[in-house]
Amino acid sequence: MEILDSKLFHDFHGMLKGQEVTTSKKLYKDAKGFYQSVDASLDDNTIMYEVSCVNASKKEEGYLNWGISLLHPVYVNGECNMTRGHFHKDLNCEEYYWCASGTGLLMFMDENGKTWCEKMKEGSLHHINGHHAHRLINTGNEDLKVICVWNANAGHDYQRVEQMPFNVRVFKKGEEIYTQKR
């Protein structure tokens, strides 16, 4: 019997490593549209968040993806750094988010536009119903690292949240977090 080393390694407080891992970075210039206003003090090439994934060999039912999203503590005129956010293309596909470190909010939106959040902190585990759009928000002063597991056939429907955007924005002033209806 062969006893092999694992092909992948995920340090609890670090990134995902292994040959099959793909990483993408979201720069401020590609995220400007997420925020209420443009912050001229931020360099266009500021890295807002990074996503590393191990994608399944097939984008089919029964296959799973594993990933980590890492959001840096960047504020855009006081508005907290966030992911683009999406519905799944296949609404039958659920997802789990598990907070490895940092503090933030997981914003949900149902198909009627009702928006709410769950608090994220180290160890918090979040179930995402396939019918709910989801967006990560870093409200802390350190990286927010969130481990994600989702069906390989889920897909990302960004258009749907552009047509019906999350209707609440999250800001930080000093140490106070506050929200604003958009």
Ligand X SMILES: O=P(O)(O)OC[C@H]1O[C@H](O)[C@H](O)[C@@H](O)[C@@H]1O
| Span of 14-22, 36-44, 83-91, 169-177 interacting with ligand X by CB under 6 A | 83-91
Q: How far apart are CB 150 and ligand X at their closest, in Å? A: 5
Instruction: Find the binder of ligand X among 89, 131, 156, 160 (CB under 6 A).
Output: 156
Instruction: Find the binder of ligand X among 28, 108, 150, 166 (CB under 6 A).
Output: 150
Q: Which residues pair with 75 in a beta bridge?
A: 80
Establish if 85 lies at the interface with ligand X (CB under 6 A).
yes
The Cα 111–Cα 121 span in angstroms is 26
Instruction: Find the binder of ligand X among 35, 67, 102, 108 (CB under 6 A).
Output: 67
Residues 86-115 binding ligand X (CB under 6 A) are 86
Q: Give exposure, 99-120, as e/b (b: 16+ Cβ within 10 Å).
A: bbbbbbbbbbbeeeeebebbeb
Q: How far apart are CB 115 and ligand X at their closest, in Å? A: 15
The Cα 31–Cα 84 span in angstroms is 7
Task: Answer for the pair 126, 88: CB distance below 8 angstroms, yes or no.
Answer: no
The Cα 97–Cα 33 span in angstroms is 24
| Span of 4-12, 38-46, 77-85, 110-118 interacting with ligand X by CB under 6 A | 77-85
Per CB under 6 A, residues contacting ligand X are 51, 67, 69, 83-86, 148, 150, 156
